[in-house]
Amino acid sequence: MIADQSFTLRAEQLLQLLEALSEPIAVTDDRQIVHYLNTRAQVATGLEAHPQGLSLQELSDASQVQPRALPIPVAGLRLYALSPHHKGPEHPGNTASVGAPVQTGDRYQDRLLELLLAEPGRIPDLLNAMCTGLIGLDDQLRITFISPGAGSLFGHKETAATGRDISWLMPQIDQGLLRECQRAPDKGQASFTLQQDRYALAGQIVRIGPPGDAAQLVLCLLDITPYQARATERASLLRIVIHDLTNPLNIALNLADLLRHGELHDEEREEAMAMLMEQLRRMHDLLRDLSLLDQTTEDISQSFEATSLDILAAAVVNDLKERAQEDGVRLALTPLPPHAVSVYGNGRLLQQAIYNLVANAIKYTLPGGWVRVTLRQRRDGQAEIIVADSGIGIPPAKQASIFEPFYRVRDPRTAHVNGTGLGLSLVRRVAEQHHGEVWFHSVPDRGSIFALRLPLYQDCATSQATEAS
């Protein structure tokens, strides 16, 4: 925890520290009129300057942010951390148009500093309430405090870290940069990134001591591991996409060139057109599945609504019935429950997930086999869609990989089957977005069972007896 004696700040140093926090902060007066937004809050709300005469409620409504009151009782001030509302596709972030006049200048900042510095004992309370990780350093780069946010990040309590050199806690940090910040009062904030155990961290170094070599520092830390993991995943997907698009694109270009020069006879031209359409369809399907997969990396809960799984299941079976017949596979939907089975979610993505499970079962079932789709309501408060087939099954050695993007089970009997390898990966992502799960059981040459489980929509839950789980 940050103790009172840890901070003796000048006004400009306090403002610099607030600006370095990774958490969006808004400050209002007792009437909840906004007087200050730090830079993170300006980004979160879409405002490029400090608002004049704008209430916190107006800011929240217009900017799609949710204020969280911080328990910091400072006379004349109320402090709020801003977090984004869940946004759907129709609510893009950072597009606030609040309609209130916006004023640049320092007088709102001055008001904030005036009130906070009138009660300097509240400053540690403010910083302790932040989710941002804060670490204080003395002039010898020894740790003077660790905020709760930093303690949870590193797994060390203040009593274990206080008095130790910063290299004990963060061995990868550039101490030369820290020394430079101590000696240069006009340097301003310095930024850094580093890998710390399993975390990727981004940070700001804020100089809070007096001019000279004895300056104290505060490290403001942000865990960027999720963002780094997402960037790594997207880079990997991009490499695979380039590889998977190159082959059908080259084939399509060659066929188009032959057709353009009229070098083919009628039968050859029809065959070339069919092959060209097949390659174009492969590219279309890949880009479509990538678009859907990208959507599942975002928080789309703003678009959720009560959705009837029985309607989605019936629509999928109806859409795929002709394909199943062409492949010689019997596709059946078992009798639906007597009442609607509803979940809270994005109907389009849920239907696509069900479609992928059924289409996948048809692909890997040989002619003369069957695929059966069942919907039931479980006793544990979950809805379950089960897709069972009599197909070729999945070898045990390959079962751990089937939900990975672009992974496909290779079997000579299904070498003719086209696909992007993204179908099951998309199903798992959709399940996770809806707080559900997908599981399977498969026996080679005997078939597979896939089940998508989702929480029932509570407003639609009934007291009727449901099937045994």
Distance CA 35, CA 44 (A): 16
DSSP 40-84: HHHHHHT-SSEESS-BHHHHHHHHTEEEEE----BTTBEEEEEEE
Query: For residue 9, is it within any domain?
Result: no
Burial 104-134 (b: 16+ CB within 10 A, else e): eeeebbebbbebbeeeeebbbbbbbbbbbbb
Residues whose CB is less than 8 angstroms from the CB of residue 200 and which lie 6 or more positions away in sequence, other chains included: 193, 194, 223, 224, 225, 227, 228
Asked if 165 and 239 sit in the same domain, the reply is no
- Tens-place pLDDT, residues 12-54: 666 667 776 767 888 888 888 887 888 778 877 877 555 567 8
Q: What is the dihedral of CA 410, 415, 416, 417, to 10 degrees?
A: -10
- Tens-place pLDDT, residues 182-228: 877 555 567 788 877 777 888 888 887 665 556 778 888 877 776 66
**pLDDT for residue 421:** 64
20 vs 304, higher pLDDT = 304
Cβ atoms of 402 and 394 closer than 8 Å: yes
Asked if 176 and 252 sit in the same domain, the reply is no
Q: What are the C-alpha distances in Å from 272 to residues 252, 257, 278, 415?
A: 9, 11, 10, 21
Asked if 97 and 217 sit in the same domain, the reply is no
353 vs 416, higher pLDDT = 353
Query: For residue 2, is it within any domain?
Result: no
Most confident of 89-103, 138-152, 324-338, 447-461: 324-338
Residue 162's CATH number: 3.30.450.20
Residue 428's CATH number: 3.30.565.10
Residue 260: pLDDT over 70: yes
Supply the DSSP symbol for 457: P
**Confidence band, pLDDT 50/70/90 cuts, at residue 150:** confident
Average pLDDT of span 416-437:
78
C-alpha angle 426-430-434 in degrees, rounded to nearest 5? 170
Q: Which domain holds residue 290?
A: 227-295
Query: For residue 375, is it within any domain?
Result: yes
Residue 418: pLDDT over 70: no
Residue 386: pLDDT over 70: yes
Asked if 316 and 450 sit in the same domain, the reply is yes
Query: For residue 47, is it within any domain?
Result: yes
87 vs 190, higher pLDDT = 190
Query: For residue 311, is it within any domain?
Result: yes
**pLDDT for residue 236:** 59
Asked if 320 and 288 sit in the same domain, the reply is no
**pLDDT for residue 136:** 82
Most confident of 125-129, 217-221, 282-286, 366-370: 366-370
Asked if 305 and 410 sit in the same domain, the reply is yes
Name the region of 197 (left: φ>0; alpha: ψ -120 to 50; beta: rest). Answer: left
**Confidence band, pLDDT 50/70/90 cuts, at residue 450:** very high
Query: For residue 18, is it within any domain?
Result: no
Asked if 141 and 203 sit in the same domain, the reply is yes
Cβ atoms of 53 and 100 closer than 8 Å: yes
Last residue of a domain, one of 295, 316, 331: 295
Average pLDDT of span 96-120:
53
Last residue of a domain, one of 180, 205, 223: 223
Residues whose CB is less than 8 angstroms from the CB of residue 171 and which lie 6 or more positions away in sequence, other chains included: none
Asked if 344 and 428 sit in the same domain, the reply is yes
> For the chain, how many structural domains are there in total?
4
**pLDDT for residue 383:** 93
Asked if 350 and 430 sit in the same domain, the reply is yes
Asked if 158 and 275 sit in the same domain, the reply is no
269 vs 361, higher pLDDT = 361
What is the three-state SS of 329-362?
CEEEECCCCCCCCEEEECHHHHHHHHHHHHHHHH
Residue 287's CATH number: 1.10.287
Query: For residue 214, is it within any domain?
Result: yes
- Using DSSP's 3-state secondary structure scheme, residue 178 falls into helix
Among 17-21, 91-95, 248-252, 441-445, the range scoring the smallest mean pLDDT is: 91-95
172 vs 16, higher pLDDT = 172
Other C-beta atoms closer than 10 Å to the C-beta of 363 total 21
Asked if 342 and 357 sit in the same domain, the reply is yes
Supply the DSSP symbol for 388: E
Query: For residue 57, is it within any domain?
Result: yes
Asked if 325 and 272 sit in the same domain, the reply is no
Measured over the CA atoms of residue 40, residue 41, residue 46 and residue 48, the dihedral's sign is: negative
**pLDDT for residue 413:** 58
Last residue of a domain, one of 84, 119, 154: 119
Residue 374: pLDDT over 90: yes
**pLDDT for residue 102:** 35
| Rg for the chain, CA atoms, rounded | 29
**pLDDT for residue 97:** 33
